[in-house]
Chain A
Amino acid sequence: MQILLNNQSLNITEQQCRQPLLNWLREQQELPATKEGCGAGDCGACTVLVGRWQAGKIHYAAVNACIALLGSVSQCHLVTLDGINQGDTLQPVQQALVDFHGSQCGFCTPGIVMAMMAWWLNTPANPMQSPSDLSRHRHDIEEALSGNLCRCTGYHPILKAAASLAPFTLGGEACESTVVGLSTREVTTYLSSIDEPAKPLSYQQPLTEQQLALAIDAAPEATFISGGTDLGLEVTQQLYTREAYIDLSQVTQLQQIKRQDDVLHIGSAVTYSQLQDYIQTDVAQSSRAWQKLLPLIGSRQVRNKGTLGGNIANASPIADTPPLLLALQAQLILQAGTQTRQLPIAEFYTGYRQSVLAPGEYIRDILVPISDQQVHIEKISKRYEDDISAACIALVYELVDDQISQCRIGLGGMAATPVLAKHLQAALLGKVPTELDGEQILAWLREDVTPMSDVRASADYRLQVCANMLTHWFTQTQSNQVGGLT
């Protein structure tokens, strides 16, 4: 396998493929600028840029190096802070951080610089016309830095530094890659020279479904990995590395999103960030719910790497997208060899971290209806950015003659798997929403789920917030208010 690290083309050995990218950078490449703060994708001190072809240009995305296996970023342009440093002159992002006193202990700073670089490179010039106005693009900056913890500054000077930046402009031959001293042509030449993947058996990263089929034949016991934002923790926290991985994230056919009639066909390797971009201007009720949920999933770094298919297949009870997918009655297309089957997501989970997926079978597409019914979503957590939900509640319903005629309630964090609250759904049919009572909803809900008490919240709290949200959504004045935003 090969990788373009800053301006250097390097070969990766089979042994190195399953190693965390951060360890390879710090220990084998002797590049200590990229820091390990937590080793678990929670702090962002290890943020690096991964450059790949996307929509006709090289797109640089911020990712956490600590939990990315090296094999997952082969065949791309990997940029670390070392590559950003060009002579004695600081990049505008770096200079702004100095000018606004944006570093104190400095340990998170390399990650902050890289996350801010990604934002700066990817932000169209237009919204940044008024650089001194923090409130104007505060939301964007917060999203860009959502995965970067700083324990010293309180973030205020960092926010101000980002807001002060003049737009990144493309002029002449310049492009994003020029900030690391390479022309687009050089990066392109490199990337196109390696479109044929090397295939070490311990980490295969096929680029097409045909290659994927061959990969599965070659290593039938291999573990599928997609974004790896959870599986990577096995390596760094449990100190457990699998014998072999097959990486689904670069399979072209799995990266497509298309809309057919009123159904979104989302390839399983579509990242949260890609879905966020795709759906950001859509006005359907369900799209607005996605617009509310997606920024609350992990951090920007996690959203850049994590995929929808991984979120589902990982079968975690606290996965963020399944509650909404359940409520929207999403269907999954599963592929095993030449066999394809389709089933509702409600039939996918079989137990705690278990699903119907057979060995060698993977999720190919997720079919998500676009709905203009009433769609609501709420993620409950201690912190807004980069937190795991104590509970996640999704509600889709419809009224006929002021009575509930259809109703689906998806719950996360409330049971061993993401679930539909079937008992509650049935009980609600025929009811007039404004006449519903919170105590009654809570009582029905208790018949569906018996959540756990753990480090995030007590069982009682989980039940109470679900009941509160549902009651609120049903009883609030019916209007075009969307996504439970009020």
Chain B
Amino acid sequence: MRKLPQVESDAPLTDTAGVNVIGASKAHESAYLHVTGTARYVDDIPVPANCLSAYVGGAQVASGQITKLDLGKVWQSPGVVDVITAADIPGHVDIGPVFPGDLALAENQVNYVGQPVFAVLANTREEARQAGRRAVIEIQATTPILDLAAAQSAQRTVRPSHSLTRGDVAAAMVQAPCQLDIEQRIGGQEHFYLEGQVALALPQEDGGVLVYSSSQHPSEVQKLVAEVLGLPMHLVVVDMRRMGGGFGGKETQAAQWACLAALLAVRNQRAVKLRLGRSDDMQLTGKRHGFVNQARVGFDNSGHILAVQAQLHGLCGCSPDLSDAIVDRAMFHADNAYYLPAAKITGHRWFQNTASQTAFRGFGGPQGMMLAEQMLDDIARRVNRDPLSVRLANLYSPQRGMKTPYHQQVEGFPMQRIIGELVESSQYWQRREAITEYNQSQQRKVRGLALTPVKFGISFTAQFLNQAGALVHVYTDGSIQVNHGGTEMGQGLHTKIGQIAAAELGVDLSAIVVTASRTDKVPNTSPTAASSGTDLNGQATRAACQTIRQRLQEFVAQTHACVASEVQFTAGQVSWPSGKQSFAELVQAAYLARISLSSTGYYRTPKIYYDRDKAAGHPFYYYTCGAAVSEVEVDRLTGMYKVLRTDILHDAGASINPAIDIGQIEGAFIQGMGWLTTEELVWGNDGRLQSNSGATYKIPAVGDTPAQFNVALLQNSSNHEATIYHSKAVGEPPFMYGISVWSALRDAIYQAGAGQVNPQLDTPATPERVLWALQQASRGES
């Protein structure tokens, strides 16, 4: 660059960025691209003319040994170019993310219906899909394990059990004036990201490969592609601009498709795309774990919990995948917001002949929290108090206790304030009265109301994942490119990162571009998961920007004889006591003076540790808290229902972008509601997923959004820990506000039975389950 670009001395500002950009409700950085259809997803990337399509094929058997694999008809199918099996994989066949057990292609044993046994490459996607159905695969079938009882009797687990213990539970239980037993069955959940699993692989000149993968974890895809191909990692680049939704479903399970596409691409030296159709995506990829929770709880006559003994049974599918950490997180959240004076919580990881269940927003937390919330409702009905009063009486508090079953001291816990404000704004008690009155009139519909809190631990429970990197480039026209280790799946991470960079360098938001996540820009990244995207990558970006800012400050201090700390960056201007210039002018001067305008940034979360042998530590940097109130109306004749109103008050700390945070809360609530109501996974006795399309698996539609939906952020809040601008993570916690709908349904059913029967309501609480519970209640059966 011999001649520098022309720059203005007064940079035009499109907003007040660089002054008040933190805390501003900026639109999603891709909003314009979204609404014009110009946002590019992996399947939209223009491909080379010689691009081929890959697809997978497997057997329609849930469990057994492959006795014969005849691919002759696959090879003969029109347009077929290549067919591979596990034997054609030059490197690792096992692509398990933490523990072994996930195979790129099955070798001898099949463990779930449709498990890919081969991959086929053809000229068109239609031809590849057709060919994928033509193999002759003979299997010596064995009886599949498809529920908890079968797994227990076969003693098949994917990982060992683990327990958290605090206090003398046995003694406290015996001494408790009241006890009750709980058993709840909680269904899993299909991610139903609108963009299905997809990868595009382009062979490179050096034997390596460039992979576009719709993945929350590009670094892991890079590592696994390298291992499958037998290549060093530096020959594999993974690029991820945006996903059409992830929700955890693309944390580990995007890798298989990327590995297969990459292998076929390198083998044939052609570009290869592999995109699953919706029903295959649903059949072949893991989901939220179903759980069976069992507990005995001891409490006093006014409903204070004294002891809890719980068994959480996670149904993990056919391999460990992330199940160890997922069941751990369920155990860490079985207390939710309530102090348990004595507790023993054990988590089990059971094998099932299904695709391996995986991460999904909340990562086990919701399933653990369901136990706590059923416990509180059941206790309230036993002691004949309103559930809200019993919830308030059991919250963590300095009087009652602040130590969790895993021995972490709860700090910065504004729950009393949150519930107090929400009870007020939602008029909980007035509506409670109105509902009781309405229900006494014995109309066709019966109504229910519930308030449920959420306390969700923030951090990966695997300590080493709590690190992040960023790479910031300032160009000589003053424009800035930010790269970081997180991925954009709609959650607005890149928008917040852009705001952080704009604030740190005092420039207009339009000066920042946040690029695709690429393993050759920021290496060795963690998955974008555990709600940690902004916490980790925001700090890393901030660190990179500060390094550059500091260099510029020192340069100004030298050239203008002032102290570095007196140099201010604001609104696209850089000022010092004796003068000022535009950011772009300063950048050019610095460039000519040979100052580096690029920097990496790095961050690791402080304070966190967990000793698994002792089941004690400080696994969470802090907690995100909030509460929701939902009112439902249930049809006594059909069990169909509607959510009439939901109020949510959520603590996002000092929010970086309130509009994006509210978007996360609203969307997560609806997703959580769907999990517990209409989203029903049904496997047949043969292990085939019967709910394998949008026609049979019903996520919430537009009419399911409550007619009154009031979502607010807790005002004047600030994270007591030194997170990025004292904000709080927001991705997962609001998912669990959906529990308020389930709890309100139980309340309605309880009231339909005139308060005589505490209803059992397993989830999803489909109209059918609700109708049976209503019948039970009206007959007075418990």
Interface residues of chain A, those whose CB is within 8 Å of chain B, are 26, 30, 32-40, 42-43, 45, 80-82, 85, 90, 94-95, 97-99, 101-110, 113, 135, 138, 141-142, 145-146, 148-159, 236-237, 239, 378, 380-388, 390, 454-458, 461, 464-465, 468-469, 472, 486
B68: interface (CB < 8 Å): no
In the complex, A34→B38 CA distance in Å?
Answer: 10
Hey, which chain B residues are within 8 Å of A153, CB to CB? Answer: 663, 666-667
A227: min CB distance to chain B, Å:
16
In the complex, A457→B772 CA distance in Å?
Answer: 12
How many contacts A-B (CB < 8 Å)? 235
B696: interface (CB < 8 Å): yes
Hey, which chain B residues are within 8 Å of A472, CB to CB? Answer: 444, 637
* B695→A388 contact, CB < 8 A: yes
Name A382's contact: one of B278, B690, B767 (CB within 8 Å). B767
Given A38-B278, A106-B244, also A145-B702 (CB < 8 A): yes
Hey, which chain A residues are within 8 Å of B691, CB to CB? Answer: 455
* B30→A106 contact, CB < 8 A: yes
A39: min CB distance to chain B, Å:
6
Given A158-B702, A385-B703, also A42-B637 (CB < 8 A): no
* A135→B36 contact, CB < 8 A: no
Given A94-B36, A113-B35, A154-B670, also A108-B194 (CB < 8 A): yes
Name B682's contact: one of A106, A388, A455 (CB within 8 Å). A455
Hey, which chain A residues are within 8 Å of B412, CB to CB? Answer: none
* B663→A157 contact, CB < 8 A: yes
B95: interface (CB < 8 Å): no
Hey, which chain B residues are within 8 Å of A37, CB to CB? Answer: 194-196, 244, 278
Name B693's contact: one of A38, A378, A381 (CB within 8 Å). A38
In the complex, A35→B696 CA distance in Å?
Answer: 21
Hey, which chain B residues are within 8 Å of A239, CB to CB? Answer: 126, 129-130, 133
* B671→A35 contact, CB < 8 A: no
* A383→B704 contact, CB < 8 A: yes
* A146→B701 contact, CB < 8 A: yes
Given A107-B41, A385-B702, also A154-B694 (CB < 8 A): no
User: Residue on B with the closest CB to A103?
Assistant: B34
Given A101-B31, A454-B690, 7 additional A-B pairs, CB 8 A: A30-B46, A40-B694, A105-B193, A108-B194, A153-B666, A383-B701, A465-B637
* A33→B38 contact, CB < 8 A: yes
B429: interface (CB < 8 Å): no
In the complex, A81→B44 CA distance in Å?
Answer: 14
Name B490's contact: one of A104, A141, A385 (CB within 8 Å). A104
Hey, which chain B residues are within 8 Å of A150, CB to CB? Answer: 194, 702
* A42→B695 contact, CB < 8 A: yes
B198: min CB distance to chain A, Å:
10
In the complex, A350→B39 CA distance in Å?
Answer: 50
Hey, which chain A residues are within 8 Å of B31, CB to CB? Answer: 97-98, 101, 103, 106
In the complex, A455→B43 CA distance in Å?
Answer: 31
Given A151-B193, A156-B666, also A97-B701 (CB < 8 A): no
Given A107-B194, A454-B690, also A383-B666 (CB < 8 A): no
In the complex, A105→B39 CA distance in Å?
Answer: 10
Name B671's contact: one of A45, A95, A151, A381 (CB within 8 Å). A151
Hey, which chain B residues are within 8 Å of A383, CB to CB? Answer: 678, 698, 700-701, 704
Hey, which chain A residues are within 8 Å of B489, CB to CB? Answer: 105
User: Residue on A with the closest CB to B46?
Assistant: A30
Given A42-B695, A157-B663, A239-B133, also A105-B704 (CB < 8 A): no
A151: min CB distance to chain B, Å:
5
* A101→B640 contact, CB < 8 A: no
Hey, which chain A residues are within 8 Å of B191, CB to CB? Answer: 151
User: Residue on A with the closest CB to B689?
Assistant: A455
B438: interface (CB < 8 Å): no
* B670→A106 contact, CB < 8 A: no
A87: min CB distance to chain B, Å:
11
* A33→B36 contact, CB < 8 A: yes
B141: interface (CB < 8 Å): no
* A90→B32 contact, CB < 8 A: yes
* A142→B702 contact, CB < 8 A: yes
* A104→B491 contact, CB < 8 A: yes
B252-272 interface code vs A (CB 8 A; 1 in, 0 out): 000000000000000000000
* A105→B701 contact, CB < 8 A: no
B669: min CB distance to chain A, Å:
6
Name A156's contact: one of B44, B246, B705, B766 (CB within 8 Å). B705
Given A156-B666, A382-B766, also A38-B244 (CB < 8 A): no
In the complex, A38→B703 CA distance in Å?
Answer: 20
Hey, which chain A residues are within 8 Å of B251, CB to CB? Answer: none
B487: min CB distance to chain A, Å:
11
B492: interface (CB < 8 Å): yes
Hey, which chain A residues are within 8 Å of B701, CB to CB? Answer: 146, 149, 155, 383-386
User: Residue on B with the closest CB to A20?
Assistant: B126
Hey, which chain B residues are within 8 Å of A237, CB to CB? Answer: 277, 279, 693
Hey, which chain A residues are within 8 Å of B682, CB to CB? Answer: 455
Given A43-B194, A82-B37, also A101-B698 (CB < 8 A): no
B645-663 interface code vs A (CB 8 A; 1 in, 0 out): 0000000000000011011
Interface residues of B in 453-502 (CB under 8 A from A): 489-492
* A465→B771 contact, CB < 8 A: yes
Name B667's contact: one of A33, A39, A104 (CB within 8 Å). A104
Hey, which chain A residues are within 8 Å of B693, CB to CB? Answer: 38, 40, 42, 237
Interface residues of B in 661-698 (CB under 8 A from A): 662-663, 666-671, 678, 680, 682, 690-691, 693-696, 698
In the complex, A36→B194 CA distance in Å?
Answer: 8
Name A468's contact: one of B279, B637, B680 (CB within 8 Å). B637
* B694→A43 contact, CB < 8 A: yes
B280: min CB distance to chain A, Å:
10
User: Residue on B with the closest CB to A385?
Assistant: B701
B596: interface (CB < 8 Å): no
In the complex, A384→B704 CA distance in Å?
Answer: 8
B192: interface (CB < 8 Å): yes
User: Residue on A with the closest CB to B711?
Assistant: A156
B615: interface (CB < 8 Å): no
Hey, which chain B residues are within 8 Å of A106, CB to CB? Answer: 28, 30-31, 33-34, 39, 242, 244, 490
Given A38-B694, A81-B36, A97-B35, also A148-B194 (CB < 8 A): no
In the complex, A108→B711 CA distance in Å?
Answer: 23
B51: min CB distance to chain A, Å:
11
Hey, which chain A residues are within 8 Å of B30, CB to CB? Answer: 103, 106
Name B195's contact: one of A105, A157, A458 (CB within 8 Å). A105
* B39→A152 contact, CB < 8 A: no
Hey, which chain A residues are within 8 Å of B709, CB to CB? Answer: 154, 156
* A154→B696 contact, CB < 8 A: no
A300: min CB distance to chain B, Å:
10
In the complex, A135→B704 CA distance in Å?
Answer: 14
Hey, which chain A residues are within 8 Å of B126, CB to CB? Answer: 239
In the complex, A157→B662 CA distance in Å?
Answer: 10
* B694→A81 contact, CB < 8 A: no
B699: interface (CB < 8 Å): yes
Name A380's contact: one of B640, B671, B705, B711 (CB within 8 Å). B640
User: Residue on A with the closest CB to B40?
Assistant: A32
Hey, which chain B residues are within 8 Å of A32, CB to CB? Answer: 37, 40, 43-44
Hey, which chain B residues are within 8 Å of A454, CB to CB? Answer: 690
In the complex, A33→B196 CA distance in Å?
Answer: 16
In the complex, A305→B671 CA distance in Å?
Answer: 29
* B244→A456 contact, CB < 8 A: no
B512: interface (CB < 8 Å): no
B27: interface (CB < 8 Å): yes
User: Residue on B with the closest CB to A456?
Assistant: B696
In the complex, A327→B445 CA distance in Å?
Answer: 26
Given A113-B35, A154-B705, also A104-B663 (CB < 8 A): yes
In the complex, A42→B282 CA distance in Å?
Answer: 14
A-B pairs, top 4 by smallest CB distance, nearest first, are: A33-B37, A42-B694, A105-B490, A107-B244
In the complex, A230→B245 CA distance in Å?
Answer: 27
User: Residue on A with the closest CB to B44?
Assistant: A32
In the complex, A454→B682 CA distance in Å?
Answer: 9
